[in-house]
Structure 1
Amino acid sequence: MGKRWGFFFQLHLKNHLILYVFSTVLFMMGVIFGAVIVNALTELQKQDLLVYLSQFFNELNKGVEGDSRAAFVNTAGHYFKYLGLIWILGLSIIGLPLILVFIFLKGLAIGFSVSFLVSQLSWNGLWFAFVSIVPQNLIIVPALIIIGVAGISFSFKLMKNQFSPRRGTLSQHFVSYTTLVLVMGILFLVATLFESFVSPKLMQSVMELII
């Protein structure tokens, strides 16, 4: 079974290499753009964000053990709505550009968050970003790009089938696309568990460096 999935992903990567390169570059552009936005913020905007960040640190410092289950439910709901939306967008031709927008915005959010923490807290901010943002996104980002590429690929197949004089069935491609999304959903679940139960403890472990 493991070899079968390994072969499937190798074939998928080989057939969609250009899309993977493009999506990865688009994500990195989002990260860079997010960092640029931080530099463009006014001092008042930075102060407002710092107030919010201080409140978050204070809540985190009080202890979050009792909120882990609620955080899991909220985070899982957010991620799986995101996953479902991209899956639905992949089932339509007009959804193709929106999938690219989602990939870019994910990079922008990460770039903005990390850049803001570093700009305001220096090395402490980098360390905090490393334990609070990086770990779960090492899972989420690749899974998101894989889902995005699969959705874009299916949209292209729909487009090709729509304008082809001989329309064929896309049922096999639909099953493969949906199966891939479900597998990536398992990775989303793993990232959610980490973000809800492990990440808060890692963040608490570095609080003495910040407060």
Structure 2
Amino acid sequence: MQNYTKEHLSLYVFIAVILITGVVFGAVMVNALTLEQKQEIGRHLGSFLQSVDQGLSEGNRDTFFAGLLMHWKWVLLIWIFGLSVIGLPLILVLDFLKGVLIGFTVGYMIGQYSWKGMLFALAGVVPQNMIVLPVIVVCSVTAMSFSLDMIKQRFWQRSGTVVPPFMRYSLTTAVMAMLLIAASIYEAFLSPAVLKWVSPMLTVAQAG
């Protein structure tokens, strides 16, 4: 494990920097929104808050499976891109986009509602992403490592079989995908209850 960590530490740092850059970029994007765009987002947010207050977004199996499928699609894309050299840049693009989405969401909430927006982000965005982001980092590093190993084996070593590395790569991705079940459980069953407690504060702020 120590040898693995040392060998791939640079990749972990690199992927983490890509994600952080995406988060910062997403937060900065909020400042580039026009007034009309902010009003449109505000209307959608208002509808969501109203549904939360009325209990329409309370946890159910459909919400759980929809969220889990979305997370799994993201991991599946990373796994597919890791199978070829061409996919390496696309893995970085996916990581950057994930960071942008999170940064934009949190940045908008804080920019519009100050500390109340921060509270909303802490309740509805941060908890599940404490699972999702590490999973994406591990999957991305594993995918890039597998792809680079295949390049070395093909052009330099010219020996060995691809089956054991592929099985380790696929198994690691599958284990990480299973961890996303916890994130989807929070999104579907715990987050609505927490947001129902927070949403009245945002509703008042939005009305003001």
Whether TM exceeds 0.5 here: the answer is yes
Give the drift of 1:24: 0.3
Aligned equivalents of 1:143 and 1:134: distance in 2?
14
SS at 2:160's partner residue? coil
RMSD: 1.4
Q: Indicate whether 1:186 and 2:191 are aligned.
A: no
Aligned equivalents of 1:90 and 1:26: distance in 2?
17
* Partner residue, 1:146: 138
SS at 2:176's partner residue? helix
Larger mean Cα displacement after TM superposition, 106-115 or 199-208: 199-208
Q: Could you list the per-position Cα deviations for residues 105-152 of structure 1 after superposition, in whole angstroms to 9, with x for gaps in the alignment? A: 111100000000011111111100000000000000001000000001
The number of aligned residues is 203
In structure 2, the CA distance between the partners of 1:108 and 1:66, relative to structure 1 (3 Å rule), is: closer
Q: Of 118, 124, 139, which residue of structure 2 is paired with 1:132?
A: 124
Give the drift of 1:71: 0.5
Aligned equivalents of 2:175 and 2:69: distance in 1?
17
Q: Of 21, 25, 30, which residue of structure 1 is paired with 2:13?
A: 21
* Partner residue, 2:91: 99
Give the drift of 1:90: 0.8
Aligned equivalents of 1:94 and 1:146: distance in 2?
19
Conserved? CA contact 1:93–1:155, under 8 Å: yes
Q: Indicate whether 1:68 and 2:51 are aligned.
A: no
Give the drift of 1:79: 1.0
> Could you list the runs of 4 or more consecutive aligned residues of structure 1 that deviate by over 3 angstroms after TM superposition?
64-67
Q: Could you list the per-position Cα deviations for residues 139-187 of structure 1 after superposition, in whole angstroms to 9, with x for gaps in the alignment? A: 0000100000000111111222232362431221111111111110111
* Partner residue, 2:165: 173
Aligned equivalents of 1:23 and 1:66: distance in 2?
34
Aligned equivalents of 2:117 and 2:57: distance in 1?
23
Where do residues 47-66 of structure 1 align in structure 2 (5 Å cutoff)? Answer: 47-64=39-56
Conserved? CA contact 2:51–2:57, under 8 Å: no
Q: Indicate whether 1:208 and 2:205 are aligned.
A: no
In structure 2, the CA distance between the partners of 1:108 and 1:15, relative to structure 1 (3 Å rule), is: same
Structure 2 unmatched ranges of 5 or more: 204-208
Q: What letter matches 2:137 in structure 1?
A: I
Conserved? CA contact 2:59–2:190, under 8 Å: no
State the percentage of identical aligned residues. 41
In structure 2, the CA distance between the partners of 1:66 and 1:109, relative to structure 1 (3 Å rule), is: closer
* Partner residue, 1:4: none
SS at 1:75's partner residue? helix
Q: TM-score, normalised by structure 2?
A: 0.93
In structure 2, the CA distance between the partners of 1:115 and 1:172, relative to structure 1 (3 Å rule), is: same
Q: Indicate whether 1:119 and 2:134 are aligned.
A: no
